[in-house]
Amino acid sequence: MTIAMLRADARACLDAALAAVDPARLVERRLRRGCDALALADANGREIGRHDGPVLVLGAGKAALAMGRAAATAAGDACRGGRLIVPHGGAGPCPGGVAVATGRHPVPDDAGAAATAELLELVGRADERTLVVAVLSGGASALLVAPAAGVGLADKQAVTAALLAAGAPIDALNLVRRHCSRVKGGGLARAAARAAGLWALLLSDVVGDDPAVIASGPASPDPTTFADAVAVLARHLAPRDVPPAVVSHLARGAAGEVADTVKPGDPLLARVRSVVVGGNRTAVAAAAEAAMARGYAVEVVAEPVVGDAAEAGRALAGRALALPPGGALVAGGETTVRARGGSGGRAQHLALAAAVELAGSRIVLLAAGTDGVDGPTDAAGACVDGETVARARAAGCDPGEALAATDSHGLFARTGDLVRSGPTGTNVADVVVALRPAW
């Protein structure tokens, strides 16, 4: 088996993972129209909600358009319009009179704020006969932006950018976002208090699939506090890097002067139904199945891949080197990178660290973001092998220096190891596949 064949198999595993988390298909499995009513099902197909009146479709995220189309189609003639917010460049038509707006990701912008204001106005007008169906996926934390009173959009932009640059994990970033927002941390549920109910369909891009963390929990109770948000900022940022308005707002919240996010047990949650339609584990399972179908003996990494991307890459490479002939390693999760200049993303950074460890071996390792966009680049990730380091050096690149400068994209552009899929319309964090030939 050649390296080229291994690389093709690794890409096939990624393609299988992406197909398994097709947003429209996942929503179609949960929303069903029959007998003039819309029904909501759980993961086992058991009906957990039924509504026979008007339906308003709302949502945000990288997968919101596909999810929203499926929801509006399921609602049929009962759909009374709505609004979806997707990243710039991702707009398209949606049935049922559902409007589609765009915003910036991962740092929010004025367009996203204006679209969110319109979305909240629609929700606030929903009456006791109207069901609100919210479709939320990764990216919604930036696209659903409604700063808390006293906090400006520029303040949210600054603290988001600072936490991202500091390599803060997504759960920490979203914790701060929830406590600086009117829509996150159950804020959407508050806005829909007059509606017949709120059904939230969530496509998870976070480790653990916690509804309170996915999209920063617009329809979910939030067990964290203002004090927790203050602690996150103290852990990841210097005081000078936090906008004064954010410091003041969080301090007032910690002192009990500002209403906290919606907490577990709040009566308004009685009319809320939330279901996670898919996530990283769905993609990992599909990649593993694809590898098995190609004859590999598959080892699935049970624990999510988190933490520093380079450390994760070295650890996964070590496990790949220990694979038996014909073995495959499949993992998923979301790592972090503390940017030091250069260009790249967490998947590429992980792959570069792995490539250094795999130098001279016959193992192939592919790491990619399921959204097709790894960091501020045009690549989903990278596929490396035992010859990647040699190709880099031949092209005048030093892998160690590229790692230190967080410039994995620049190196892989020269070695030909970039994985480009374009935006996929889904988002369930990252998938890693490592393959060892049988001979």
Residue 414 lies in a domain: yes
Tell me the whole-structure pTM to 2 decimals.
0.90
**Residues 7 and 41 reside in one and the same domain:** no
Residues 295 and 271 in one domain: no
Asked whether residue 43 is domain-assigned, the answer is yes
Question: Given a cut of 90, is residue 208 above it in pLDDT?
Answer: no
Tell me the pLDDT band of 167, cut-offs 50, 70 and 90: confident
Confidence at 331, pLDDT banded by 50, 70, 90: very high
Count: domains in the chain: 2
Residue 114 structure tokens: 């204006």
Same domain, 122 and 215: yes
- The runs of H, that is alpha helices, within 324-366 are 346-358
Say if residue 297 is in the same domain as residue 209: no
Same-domain status, 384 and 320: yes
427/417 Cα distance (integer angstroms): 22
Kindly state the percentage of the chain with pLDDT values over 90: 93
Is the N-terminal amide bond of 106 cis, ω within 30° of 0? yes
Q: Are 398 and 310 contained in the same domain?
A: yes
Report the C-alpha gap between 87 and 96 in whole angstroms: 21
Which pLDDT score is estimated for 284?
Answer: 98
Position 167 in a domain? no
Q: Catalogue the E-assigned strands of 301-436.
A: 327-333, 364-369, 381-384, 418-419, 430-435
Region 86-114: mean pLDDT is 96
The range of the structural domain enclosing residue 343 comes to 3-14+281-435
Helices and strands (H and E) in the chain: how many:
16, 15
pLDDT of 125-137, one tens digit each? 999 999 999 999 9
Tell me if 95 is assigned to some domain: yes
Domain boundary among 278, 307, 323: 278
Same domain? 346 vs 385: yes
- Could you tell me if residue 312 is inside a domain? yes
| 265 located within any domain | yes
Asked if 435 and 364 touch (Cβ cutoff 8 Å), the reply is yes
What does the pLDDT read at residue 36? 85
pLDDT of the residue at 340? 86
Q: In the prediction, which pLDDT does 120 show?
A: 97
Q: Are residues 295 and 272 in the same domain?
A: no
pLDDT in tens, 26-37: 999 999 988 789
Query: Domain for residue 344, yes or no?
Result: yes
Tell me: do 368 and 269 sit in the same domain: no
φ, ψ at 305 (rounded to 5°): -85, 110
For residue 60, tell me if it sits in a domain.
Answer: yes
- Shared-domain flag, residues 268 and 304: no
Q: Give the chain's mean pLDDT.
A: 96
Does residue 272 sit in the same domain as residue 351? Answer: no
Domain identity same for 271 and 349 = no
Model pLDDT, residue 254: 96
Strands of 36-189, DSSP E: 37-41, 47-51, 55-60, 79-87, 98-103, 131-137
Q: Residues with Cβ < 8 Å from 409, sequence gap 6 or more?
A: 342, 343, 344, 345, 348, 375, 377, 379, 418
